[in-house]
């Protein structure tokens, strides 16, 4: 088959050569020039225990300095601190240890960002012309297997059967540049940042609605409309208190916890923290004239809530961030509201799978769900992201083309954002 010559590879990476390698992935679908470089954190590694192995086996690693703790319970991966000298001298001994599936360096986009963890998995969205039989054949030639199919046609989580993590990255890059995929990217374990201070008990009392000078003129808008049930707003956040009296659960036509893979969207119990998702949802959806709490901006709309942060605070596969975006538009959302992103990852940072999901929402949403962007049939969703709080640059994904990035350099900026959103919906 004409595609296969791209995939006849033999990748035996060692930590001895890491310093000489350019560590990167491709950040934009259908693009082989936009690279996202990653930094290697000295002496920090991720290991995955085999299912039958106890955690104390980590202590048998030669040169172990410290077990830095559990990263993801379901995948049984731990972060460790280990002597570089031991890694260099005994890489194969560790890789072939019967207790572990892989060991891989910890990576970051910048020194200030959160960790990005490579595993043995990557995500690939194959082009429509590539059949399932062709996908299986290509995978077999590269010692890769299908883990699961995702929501979108021809999009899969794949696993490299024998890897040290960096091999996963290199194979994903080869699939990306092969011409048979829209994109391929490691299924990083990561954790998004939530953009708001949700620890303040007076969080909901913000000036944007009730100031007599600086506001979004919402009372004038309410004279025209408070929304309607045909407009569905999807909120992607860390959890929603469905028992909150000011947010009627009857207005939510669909909820799902993508982070913990269940239908419980309630936030974790923490007396010192007001749930971010509940606060954000209240700003949009709170009931009017009920003698409780506040007034939401669009209380007459219907809503979707998709939970994207794990209850235990652990890192999760990046598929659990892009799939909720697809889920939202496939469930009929008109608007996607996102107050999260990747703080301090750098102004040029991007994740291909999230870009692809956003583009699908923008071009295929509010249409016939046939996975083909059809102007005149698919109106597309309004996708909104907070730009972040670092004060220097807008954070991904607010930087994706076509996204409405919400931020403020002055209080009157809010009014212009709302006007732009209304124009798009009309």
Q: Which of 148, 172, 190 is the last residue of a domain?
A: 190
> Do residues 178 and 41 both lie within one domain?
yes
Q: What is the pLDDT of residue 24?
A: 95
> Do residues 256 and 329 both lie within one domain?
yes
**91-112 residue pLDDT tens:** 545 544 678 888 888 999 998 8
pTM given for the model: 0.85
Question: What's the domain count of the chain?
Answer: 2
- CATH number of the domain where residue 267 is located: 3.40.50.200
Return d(Cα 213, Cα 211) in angstroms, integer: 5
Return d(Cα 172, Cα 187) in angstroms, integer: 10
Question: Cis omega (within 30 of 0) on the bond before 104?
Answer: no
- For residue 417, the enclosing domain spans 193-425
Encoded tokens for 229: 């049930």
Q: Which of 172, 190, 208 is the last residue of a domain?
A: 190
In 3-state terms the chain splits into helix, strand, coil percentages (rounded to 5) of 25, 25, 50
> Do residues 178 and 279 both lie within one domain?
no
Bridge partners (DSSP) of residue 156 are 124, 149
Which helix (H) or strand (E) covers residue 356, if one does? helix 352-364
> Do residues 145 and 227 both lie within one domain?
no
Q: What is the pLDDT of residue 146?
A: 98
Residue stretches of the chain with pLDDT short of 50: 1-20, 92, 95-96, 197-204, 206, 210, 412-424, 426
Q: Is 305 helix (H, G, I), strand (E, B) or coil?
A: strand
> Do residues 121 and 220 both lie within one domain?
no
Q: What does the chain come to in residues?
A: 426
CA angle, 280 then 334 then 122, to 5°: 80
**236-263 residue pLDDT tens:** 998 888 877 788 788 899 999 999 888 8
Q: Which of 169, 190, 211 is the last residue of a domain?
A: 190
> Do residues 224 and 146 both lie within one domain?
no
> Do residues 39 and 130 both lie within one domain?
yes
> Do residues 275 and 305 both lie within one domain?
yes
Return d(Cα 277, Cα 272) in angstroms, integer: 15
> Do residues 185 and 55 both lie within one domain?
yes
CA 410 centroid distance within chain: 29
> Do residues 60 and 206 both lie within one domain?
no
Contact between residue 209 and residue 215 where contact means Cβ atoms under 8 Å apart: yes
The four Cα atoms 16, 19, 21, 24 give a dihedral, to 10 degrees, of: 120
Bridge partners (DSSP) of residue 122 are 158, 186
Q: Which of 53, 48, 44 is nearest to 15 (CA)?
A: 44
Which helix (H) or strand (E) covers residue 324, if one does? helix 319-330
Which helix (H) or strand (E) covers residue 181, if one does? strand 181-186
Q: What is the pLDDT of residue 5?
A: 32
Q: Which of 377, 209, 379, 371 is nearest to 294 (CA)?
A: 209
Q: What is the pLDDT of residue 200?
A: 33
Q: What is the pLDDT of residue 283?
A: 85
Q: How far is CA 426 from CA 334, 379, 381, 418, in A?
A: 11, 11, 12, 12
> Do residues 89 and 212 both lie within one domain?
no
> Do residues 182 and 325 both lie within one domain?
no
């Amino acid at each position: 088959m004409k595609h296969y010559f791209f995939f006849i590879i033999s990748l035996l990476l060692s930590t001895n050569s890491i310093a000489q390698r350019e560590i990167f992935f491709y950040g934009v679908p259908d693009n082989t020039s936009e690279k996202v470089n990653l930094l290697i954190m000295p002496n920090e590694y991720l290991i995955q225990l085999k299912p039958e192995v106890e955690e104390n086996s980590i202590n048998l690693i030669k040169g172990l300095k410290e077990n830095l703790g559990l990263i993801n319970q379901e995948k049984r991966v731990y972060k460790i601190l280990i002597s570089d000298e031991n890694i260099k001298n005994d890489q194969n001994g560790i890789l072939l240890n019967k207790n572990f599936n892989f060991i891989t360096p910890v990576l970051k986009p910048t020194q200030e960002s959160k960790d990005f963890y490579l595993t043995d998995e990557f995500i690939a969205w194959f082009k429509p012309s590539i059949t399932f039989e062709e996908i299986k054949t290509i995978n077999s030639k590269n010692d890769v297997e299908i883990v699961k199919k995702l929501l979108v046609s021809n999009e899969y989580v794949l696993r490299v059967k024998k890897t040290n993590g960096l091999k996963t990255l290199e194979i994903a890059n080869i699939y990306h540049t092969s011409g048979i995929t829209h994109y391929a990217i490691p299924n990083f374990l990561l954790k998004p940042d939530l953009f708001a201070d949700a620890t303040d008990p007076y969080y909901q009392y913000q000036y944007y609605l009730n100031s007599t000078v600086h506001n979004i003129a919402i009372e004038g808008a309410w004279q025209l409309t408070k929304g309607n049930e045909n407009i569905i707003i999807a909120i992607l956040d860390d959890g929603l208190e469905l028992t909150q009296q000011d947010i009627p659960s009857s207005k939510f036509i669909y909820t799902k916890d993508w982070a913990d893979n269940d239908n419980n969207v309630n936030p974790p119990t923490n007396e010192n923290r007001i749930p971010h998702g509940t606060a954000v949802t209240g700003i949009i959806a709170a009931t009017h004239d009920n003698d409780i709490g506040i007034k939401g901006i669009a209380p007459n709309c219907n809503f979707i809530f998709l939970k994207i942060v794990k209850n235990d605070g652990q890192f999760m596969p990046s598929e659990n961030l892009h799939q909720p975006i697809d889920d939202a538009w496939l469930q009929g959302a008109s608007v996607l509201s996102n107050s999260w992103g990747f703080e301090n990852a750098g102004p040029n940072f991007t994740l291909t799978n999230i870009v692809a999901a956003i583009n699908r929402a923008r071009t295929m949403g509010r249409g016939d769900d046939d996975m083909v962007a059809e102007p005149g049939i698919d109106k597309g969703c309004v996708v909104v992201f907070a730009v972040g709080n670092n004060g220097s640059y807008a954070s991904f994904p607010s930087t994706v083309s076509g996204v409405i990035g919400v931020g403020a350099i002055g209080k009157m900026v809010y009014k212009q954002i709302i006007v732009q959103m209304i124009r798009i919906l009309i």
